[in-house]
Every structure is written in C-alpha cells, then in structure tokens.
Amino acid sequence: MADSTTTIGYTGRLEDEPIITRLDAAVDWVRKNSLWPMPMGLACCAIELMSTAASRFDISRFGAEVMRFSPRQSDLMVVAGTVTYKMALAVKRIWDQMPDPKWCIAMGACASTGGMYRSYAVLQGVDKILPVDVYVSGCPPRPEALLDALIKLQTKISREPGLKNLKKAPAASAT
C-alpha cells in the first residue's frame, strides 16, 4: 500500500490496455457516479438539501452536484418536503418530463408518508403518484442521511440490468 514515499499518479495503463467488463456494469458505473438531481424543494427539507450541496457536506463528492432546474436535464428527483395536493400534479408532471432512466429519493417524513400532516391538504406520500427508489426518514433529515440515501441509490443503480431495461418500453419503468 501507499506510504509517504510512494508517488501516486496516473499510470497510463488505462489508455494502453483494454478493460474487460460487462456492458451493464460499465453503463451502471457511469450512471451512478453522475446523477443530476432535480431539486424538488417544497418545504424545510429543501434547506437541508441545499446544505447537502454546499461546501460542508459537498454532495459533489458523490457526483451528484449538478442540480438541474430543468426536468429535461435531470435523472434523479429529490422530493424534499411536503407534497400538498395542490402541488401533487405539478410534481407528477415534472417527473413525467424527466427522461429515462430516472430515479427518485423521497426525502423526509412528509415526502415519504405525509409526515405529521394527516390532513385534507397533504398527499400521504409521494409514492402515490410516482415510483420512489429510496426513502429517507427524518424531519428534516440531516445532510448525512441524504448522502446515505444517495449512496444506497448508487448501490441500487450498480445492480441494475441496464441493457435489459434499454430494450423494455419506457412506459414499463414509469409507474
């Protein structure tokens, strides 16, 4: 292993030699390390989401720092906050505008289950309108919890049979 005298650098082997792997693994590896989040910030969880993106927690360590405010450029929706019924169909429409493949993290109690809002105004969990990959508990969750969810999602993506999904009709993964 490296000690203080070892020089670590680029070897050039990557360019000279072929890498043998499964295509699935390569595609998943590319995808999971460059997730472009759609920050669906709806309530106080959005503050923690911003904090996760800022310097102290630095979500770019996991390759997910490119927050896109256009659904057409993003592939990970982070639903951060209370989804009211008034907002629900707008969230659904934004989700529908995101190109496949796409994933969703339900951040916090409200997005996961409606949280403390057992009321006429709040959707009881965003999974009623779109498929959720990872749920994060907390009210709001700390940035570490969101990063953990991101790592869990990366693990999940790395197991995905990407090629099989490519051949499937896109509608099959949309609901």
Partner 1 sequence: MAIALAAINSLTKRFGDKVRSPVAFSDKVMGRDEMSVTVAREVIAEACALLKQEPALAFDFLVDISGVDNYDANPRFRVDYLLYSYKTNAWLRLKVGVPEEDATVPSVAKVWRGAEWHERECYDMFGIRFTGHPDLRRILMWEGYPFHALRKDFPLEGKPSNVPEVAFTEAAPLQGGPFVTVPAGRAGEREPRVRENALAADVRDKTKGS
Q: Residues in the site for partner 1, rule: CB under 8 A?
A: 85-86, 88-89, 114, 116-122, 124, 128
**Furthest CA-CA distance within the chain:** 65
Residues contacting residue 127 through CB under 8 Å, at least 6 positions apart: 106, 112
Q: CB nearer to partner 1: give 92 or 156.
A: 92
* C-beta closer to partner 1: residue 84 or 158: 84
Minimum CB distance to partner 1, residue 92 (Å): 10
Return the number of the residue (43 or 76) whose C-beta is nearest partner 1.
43
85 contacts 112 by C-beta, under 8 angstroms: no
Closest CA to 105 of 162, 169, 45, 58: 45
How many angstroms separate the CA atoms of 100 and 12, rounded?
Answer: 34
Instruction: Say if residues 62 and 150 touch (Cβ distance below 8 Å).
Output: yes
- At closest approach, how far in Å is the CB of 29 from partner 1? 40
Taking the complex as a whole, the smallest distance from the CB of residue 114 to partner 1 amounts, in Å, to 7
What's the min distance (Å) between Cβ of 103 and partner 1? 25
Considering the complex, state which of residue 10 and residue 120 has its C-beta at the smaller distance from partner 1.
Answer: 120
